[in-house]
Structure 1
C-alpha cells in the first residue's frame, strides 16, 4: 500500500517510516529536510522523499497524490508562551494537510497530536480522552495550538475526511539522531553528569510503540476519535538512574522536591531566560508539577496498543546512542 508521512525526517517520523517499510508499504516521505545518508534512514528503495510545505495546499496535494493513508506528524515544539510560527504550523498546517488528503481521495488520515492538547493542570489528576482541553490562554502556545489543530482537523472530517487522532505522552527511545529533550537528558545522566535532579514523574512512551500505535489507528481507529498513546508513569529519578546504570555509572544521588522548585521558580526562571535556558521554567516544569495519571485504556482495548517496559526502552536508547556515535561509554564522564 502507498502511504504518505509528513515530518518523515523527524524523531517520530524516522521510526514510523522504518515500521511502515518493515510492513511492506511504499512510503512517500514528506519533509523539508532529508536525513543524511549516514543515518541509514534515507536510501531505502521503498521510500520516496518529497520536499513538501504543509502550509501550501497545492504542494500537499502533489505530495499526497495516490496515498491511501496519510500520517501527519509535522509540528513545531516550543516552550514559548507565544509564537506566531508555532501557532500557524500546528493549526493551519493540520488543516492544509487534511484538505489535501480529502482532495486526493486518501482513505484515511492519522494525525499525531500530543498529550499537550489536553490541559494537564486542570484534568483533576487523571487524564483520559474526555479530559478538559488546552484552551486556557495561560498555557504555552504549543499546548493551545495542538488542541486548535484538532479543531481544524475535525472541521475537515465534517466535510467527509476519514481521520483519527493519536495523542502520545512523552516520547523517548531509539532511533533518534536529534536528540529530543527527554533523550538528551537521559544521555546526560548516562554520562554521570546529573548528580542532582528535580523530583517528579511523567508518563513516557517508546517512540517505536508510538509508530505501532499510529499504524494501528490507521486500521482500527474510529473516525474522529482521540487515542492516548501512553507508556508508563516514570519517576525521573528512577529513569535517570536506569540510564546511568546502562552505561556503568552511578545515577543522581537525590532529587529536589517539587514543592521547593515551585517556590523558587519566580526567581530562577527570569535568570535562566537571560542566559537562554528554559530548563527551569514554568512551561518546562508544568507537566512534572501536574503529573497526571494517564489512562490509556481506550488505545489498548480498541487499537491493541501494548507499550514495552520502560527499562527496555532506556537500555535500548543507550545502546543506540553508542552504536550511532552519539555516546561513548569509554570516554564519558
Structure 2
C-alpha cells in the first residue's frame, strides 16, 4: 500500500514510518522544511517526500489522492494559539477526506484521550458535542465520512513516551528541575493512560490495514496511572521531593501544561486489542522515566 503521512518527521511519525516500511508498505511523507525532509530521508532512502505544510491544501489533496491510504499525524504545536492550530487541522483533514470520498481508501485521524474524562472511556464513546475545542469536533466530523465512501478511523493517543520524546514528559522533567520538586495536584488521584511509541506505531499499522470505517481505536497500552504515582516516579528519578499543590497554584507551576495535567481520563483499549489483535510489548512509562534519556531530556516546545 502506498501511504501518505503527515507529521512523518515527528516523534510518533518517524516510528510509524519505520513500522510501515518494515511491513512492506510504501511511504510518501509530507515535509514542511529542509530539516523535516532530512529527518524522513534519514529513516530510509525508500521514503518519498512531498514538500508542503498543513496549510497547503492543494498539496494535501495531491498527497491523499495519489496514495492508497492516509495517516494524518501532523498538528501544529503552538499551544499559545491552540484554537488556531485546531482550525488548521480541521481544514487539512476535510481537504484530504474530500478527495478520498467514494474511494473506500483508509484515512486515519489522530486524536487524544483528553476530554474523554470522568469515567473509564471505551472506544465507542463519542465526543461531547459541547466540547469547546475544534479538535474534538473534527474527529466527529471525520468519522462521519464513513457514510461518504471513506474507510475513516481515528486513533486516540494517550501520553506517548519513549526515546526521542520532546513533549509532555520532558517538559514535566524540565519544570521539576526548575522548581526543585515534583508536583501533583491536590490528592493526585486523577488518572491517565500511556503507551510506548513503538506500540503506538504498531497500532497505526494495524488500523491502516484492518481498521473498520467509523471506528475509534485507543492506544492505551498501560494500566491506569495516577498523577501522584507519576510525580513520585519523576521525583525518585531526579532525587527531588514530591509535593502536592493546590488548584490555585497549578498554572503558576506547570504553565500551559496545567490545563492538561489535571484531567481525569481513565481509558480502556479492550475493544482495540480484541478487534485488531494489538498486543503492546514496549517498556512502561515508569521504566522509561528511570532512563538517562528522560533524566537528561529537554524539550523544543
1:126 aligns with 2:120: yes
Corresponding residue for residue 278 of structure 1:
256
Corresponding residue for residue 70 of structure 2:
70
Deviation for aligned residue 1:156: 3.0
C-alpha separation between the residues in 2 aligned to 1:58 and 1:320?
39
Corresponding residue for residue 242 of structure 2:
254
Alignment of 1:97-246 (within 5 A): 97-102=96-101, 105=103, 107-116=105-114, 118-120=115-117, 123=118, 125-131=119-125, 133-136=127-130, 139=132, 144-176=133-165, 179-186=166-173, 194-198=180-184, 199-200=188-189, 201-232=191-222, 233-239=224-230, 242=233
Q: Is the 8 A contact 1:108 1:218 kept in 2?
A: yes
CA RMSD between the two structures = 3.4
Question: Secondary structure, in 3 states, of the residue corresponding to 2:48?
Answer: strand
Which structure is richer in relative contact order (CA contacts within 8 A, separation 6 or more)? 2
Structure 1 unpaired stretches of 5+: 328-333
Structure 2 unpaired stretches of 5+: none
Question: CA offsets, 1:191-241, max 9 Å, x none?
Answer: 797533113442111122111111111122111111121122223454455
Q: Is the 8 A contact 2:73 2:110 kept in 1?
A: yes
Deviation for aligned residue 1:47: 0.7
Number of residues paired by the alignment?
Answer: 293
C-alpha separation between the residues in 1 aligned to 2:148 and 2:171?
41
C-alpha separation between the residues in 2 aligned to 1:317 and 1:72?
31
Question: Secondary structure, in 3 states, of the residue corresponding to 2:5?
Answer: strand
Deviation for aligned residue 1:326: 5.2
1:292 aligns with 2:260: no
Length-normalised TM-score, structure 1: 0.74
Larger mean Cα displacement after TM superposition, 232-241 or 205-214: 232-241
C-alpha separation between the residues in 2 aligned to 1:219 and 1:43?
22
The 3 A distance-change label for structure 1 pair 313 and 24 is: farther
The 3 A distance-change label for structure 1 pair 194 and 304 is: farther
Q: Is the 8 A contact 2:158 2:195 kept in 1?
A: yes
Deviation for aligned residue 1:88: 1.3
Q: Is the 8 A contact 1:56 1:96 kept in 2?
A: no
Deviation for aligned residue 1:317: 8.3
C-alpha separation between the residues in 1 aligned to 2:27 and 2:290?
25
